[in-house]
Amino acid sequence: EPEVTQTPSHQVTQMGQEVILRCVPISNHLYFYWYRQILGQKVEFLVSFYNNEISEKSEIFDDQFSVERPDGSNFTLKIRSTKLEDSAMYFCASRGTGLLFFGPGTRLTVL
């Protein structure tokens, strides 16, 4: 069964450093998403991506965030200068014409 994969599973970084979270969506999917879940809180939408551009982004997705699909298979989320409050679980998801399929998540810890 096809699945969304994410790497790394856990990333620890120092405040102010750049991080790149990687996702490999399901191969024939067209829509890609990043969600964030701060520990103990709800799952929040960050950004959606379709046809090689951002379709929608939330207020959380400020100038420190960017997304890219560099090679037709990977889908990345970059945080340019991490803050303590960026510590969270980040979920990637992809969709063809129906359901969203979520990856297992990357736990980001900012020290």
Partner 1 sequence: AQSVTQPDIHITVSEGASLELRCNYSYGATPYLFWYVQSPGQGLQLLLKYFSGDTLVQGIKGFEAEFKRSQSSFNLRKPSVHWSDAAEYFCAAMPFRSNFGNEKLTFGTGTRLTIIP
Residue 23, exposed/middle/buried by CB under 10 A (0-12, 13-18, 19+)?
Answer: buried
Question: CA 55 to CA 25: how far, in whole Å?
Answer: 17
**10/80 with CB nearer partner 1:** 10
Give which of 69, 18, 71, 67 is closest to 45, Cα–Cα.
Answer: 67
Question: Cβ 75 to partner 1, closest distance in Å?
Answer: 15
2-41 binders of partner 1 (CB under 8 A): 31, 33, 35, 41
Residues facing 88 on adjacent strands: 108
**81/95 with CB nearer partner 1:** 95
Sign of CA dihedral 94, 103, 24, 59: positive
Question: Cβ 59 to partner 1, closest distance in Å?
Answer: 13
When binding is defined by CB under 8 A, the residue of 19, 48, 79, 110 that contacts partner 1 is 48
Residues that bind partner 1 (CB under 8 A): 31, 33, 35, 41-45, 48, 50, 55-56, 91, 93, 95, 97-100, 102-105, 107
